[in-house]
Amino acid sequence: MDRIKITGGAPLHGVIPISGAKNAALPLMIASLLSEDVLTLTNVPRLADVALLARILGNHGLDVTIAGKRPGELELTGQTVRLDARSIVDTTAPYELVSRMRASFWVLGPLLARMGHARVSLPGGCAIGTRPVDFLLMAMERLGAKIEIENGYAVAEAKNGLKGAEIDFPKVTVGGTHVALMAATLAEGTTVIHNAAREPEIVDVADCLIKMGAKIKGAGTSTIEISGVSRLQGAHHRVISDRIEAGTYAMCVAMAGGDVMLEGAQPELFENALDVLREAGAEIAATNEGIRVRRNGHGIDPVAVTTEPFPGFPTDLQAQLMGLMTKAKGKSRITETIFENRFMHVQELARLGAHIHLDGQTAIVEGVSTLKGAPVMATDLRASVSLVIAGLAAQGDTVVNRVYHLDRGFESLERKLAACGAQIERISGEG
């Protein structure tokens, strides 16, 4: 099992290319199930989750072709993924695949919309909370599907096709919005999604579906209207840049100090997080190339943040911000409102010398002047990178174990940081 070793203290200088957004690429790949024609996606990140979803879609009969680096392209240029769902041969998504990636449960909507039936394993537990699929199933039932839970599977039928309906989510749900949006494109009549998620990744999926012939209004607002069509065509679509990756590297620079251009980052996708970083003392400037982040000569100021659905501070940057605040000059308050049990990184940060007190869903982080390197264990994707951020400023060596979590969501993290001067390397072997 690979590990990542970081020797803290080196400032970061240079350019970090920002990859395509994982949280857009995965639902975009799933959306290919809606059409008999080829969907070609560019700027797809090279991630373990992308490769796993390609396998899962292949199980349904899709022909998935992933083209890597071409002559003349930069080393970290995104992949091109070609998805051909001409023949769907299996509408069952088995437990052994769904249990490895919760987002794969979302195939339920497109399979129902196009094939009229689907049998998809319930995803089971999750390290950062239950993340129930109740809202997603409710949305499919509102569209006319009949759903039974049998032996751990959601068995859904819509023999006469899905029908447009009003879907009112009691709570903002990104997964529910993605699935309702995809399924409604082929439903007969008009569907209106109320209290829809507004994340940029929702907008990116809607933009792609519109290229495929879908009729969608209001994506990016809390009310989305979809007029169903009889079929969708193929399309070419470029995945938006990853705002979570960009925010993470911005926090790396704020922690280590230095001056880095986040090439291809789109500031409009995470303004709230950039404002928090400015409050913490980082200099942030949008340019034609991306976002320039600097922190030179002064310390990190404490902040008070509550995670919220977009456009609020993203839960997927909460762990990284906590890593940064371990060295702030004073007390920070970080409140998590999206997922329960998303403070599993606290005890590992404490191993580096962080002072963090938990009060329910709020973490009070008392900044310390010195962190000291230690072996630590990654518990999930975002928690693992918070340990990397802390390690960049810790004295001595920090060794992060279980980095397969990192590989699920960060493309070539150690190579990108090392290119900017970080003393970081991947160690292969048991750990």
Active-site residue list: 126
Instruction: Name the H helices within 236-358.
Output: 243-256, 271-279, 318-325, 346-351
Contact residues for 107 (Cβ-Cβ < 8 A; gap 6+) = 30, 33, 56, 57, 60, 93, 118, 120
Amino acid at 384: S
Between CA 192 and CA 225 the distance in angstroms is 4
User: Which of 18, 15, 47, 17 lies closest to 403, judged by CA?
Assistant: 47
Contact 384, 222 (CB under 8 A): no
**C-alpha distances in angstroms, 384 versus 11, 138, 367, 410, 412?**
20, 33, 20, 10, 14
Between CA 415 and CA 417 the distance in angstroms is 5
Between CA 314 and CA 273 the distance in angstroms is 7
Instruction: Name the H helices within 280-359.
Output: 318-325, 346-351
* Residue 142 marked in a binding site: no
Residues in the chain: 431
Both structure tokens of 57:
């879609």
**C-alpha distances in angstroms, 399 versus 127, 251, 350?**
21, 19, 14
Between CA 162 and CA 149 the distance in angstroms is 19
Between CA 194 and CA 168 the distance in angstroms is 5
User: Which of 411, 348, 351 lies closest to 380, judged by CA?
Assistant: 348
Between CA 162 and CA 184 the distance in angstroms is 8
Return the bridge partners of 131, or none: none
* Residue 23 marked in a binding site: yes
* Residue 407 marked in a binding site: no
Number of Cβ atoms within 10 Å of the Cβ of 186 = 23
Between CA 57 and CA 249 the distance in angstroms is 31
User: Which of 188, 192, 170, 189 lies closest to 180, judged by CA?
Assistant: 192
Q: Which residues are annotated as a binding site?
A: 22-23, 102, 316, 338
Q: Which residues are annotated as a binding site for phosphoenolpyruvate?
A: 22-23
